[in-house]
Amino acid sequence: MEQTLMLGVEGVRKTILHGGSSEMPRFITGTKVTFHFRTQLCDDERTVLDDSKKVGVPMEVVIGNMFKLEVWETLLTSMRIGEVAEFWCDVTHTGLYPMVAKSLRRIAEGKDPVDWHIHTCGMANMFAYHSLGYEDLDQLQKEPQPLYFVLELVKVEQPSEYDRESWALSDEERLKVVPLLHGQGNKLFKQGHYPQAANKYKEGIICIKNIQTKEKAWDPPWLKLEKMAHTLTLNYCQCLLRVEEYYEVIEHTTDIINQHPGVMKAYYLRAKAHMEVWNESEAQADFQKVLDLDPGMRKVVRREMQVLSMRMEEKREEEKLKYRGMF
């Protein structure tokens, strides 16, 4: 029989749909909780917005890790393993759901959930582009409303019972792990393992970006994190050059240059990428900017410009022969 319970939290009602089969789990900071969820509108049809079972992958959160939708921690810590419960949550608890749902959907689609190469926080991005990329979430963002969450608690693991990946770390732990990831990436790069090095750098960037979203843009703490992210992003771009992902290099370095036009290494890496995709004038302009920012790079730039000139001449000759054979 269904039973409606108050959780002692204003604006939350709980209805147990299926009782759990164990004692109440111990929920402490660092506990990892695995669960399925279904989110529904409070309309006559109970319209389903998201359903982890349809995706086929359960959700995981770490208690005390400042998950954006804080009410979910409250709901989950009221449950037993195996329990299925429906929670009605007032709009005061559901305002951030559209942004959380956007990240979850991007993960399900195999995309980067945090858009780490965009150097503004998630809230600023939303206002900049006026859309979350999903029509139903845009509508919910414009008109916040209460929601139903149907949760099924699958597993509870204490901090010592699982290997903690970077997403499961606290902000303090993330800051400590970034230099380790940086060092691991450097070692892999020197060994010629470029894809593996890129993954280490990217993991470090994601750690930094997760922390940075909680800081006010352009304040000193934010700028300090931004500088750390730039260093890792440029290392990441060096890996991309080695695996011939030239357009992605151009994208990331351009992003850095637009925000901070004095970063010489960004111009140098972008110039190298432009060389590889035959953008002669863009490469020349970037190499000139490298010289403007660091005259000590003159010998390196002169050598790169000579290579560029030779390659462009070879390309022009190849095109002449190609077109000559067509007529």
Cα(114)–Cα(167) distance, integer angstroms: 11
Q: Please tell me whether residues 30 and 144 are part of one structural domain.
A: yes
What single-letter amino acid sits at 158? Q
Q: Please tell me whether residues 151 and 189 are part of one structural domain.
A: no
Q: Each residue of 253-300: pLDDT tens digit?
A: 999 999 889 999 999 999 999 999 989 999 999 999 999 999 999 999
Neighbours of 121 (CB within 10 A): 16
Q: Please tell me whether residues 157 and 172 are part of one structural domain.
A: no
> What pLDDT is recorded for position 17?
94
Cα(274)–Cα(258) distance, integer angstroms: 17
Three-class HEC string of 286-324: HHHHHHHHCHHHHHHHHHHHHHHHHHHHHHHHHHHHHHH
Report yes or no on 196 lying in a domain.
yes
**Domain end residue (candidates: 113, 129, 161):** 161
Report yes or no on 325 lying in a domain.
no
Q: Please tell me whether residues 112 and 190 are part of one structural domain.
A: no
Q: Each residue of 26-81: pLDDT tens digit?
A: 998 888 899 999 999 999 999 999 999 998 889 988 888 767 788 999 999 999 99
For 62, the domain range is: 3-161
Cα(293)–Cα(76) distance, integer angstroms: 54
**Domain end residue (candidates: 161, 181, 205):** 161
Q: Each residue of 76-119: pLDDT tens digit?
A: 999 999 999 999 999 999 998 998 898 888 877 766 554 444 33
Number of domains in the chain: 2
| Torsional class of 130: left (φ above 0), alpha (ψ -120 to 50), beta (otherwise) | left
Question: Full-prediction pTM beyond 0.75?
Answer: no
The separation between CA 50 and the C-alpha centre of its own chain, rounded to angstroms, equals 20
DSSP code, position 278: T
Q: Please tell me whether residues 13 and 152 are part of one structural domain.
A: yes
Q: Label residues 181-217 b or e (16+ Cβ within 10 Å = b).
A: bbebbeebbeeebbeebbbbbbbbbbbbbbbbbebee
Mean pLDDT in the chain?
A: 86
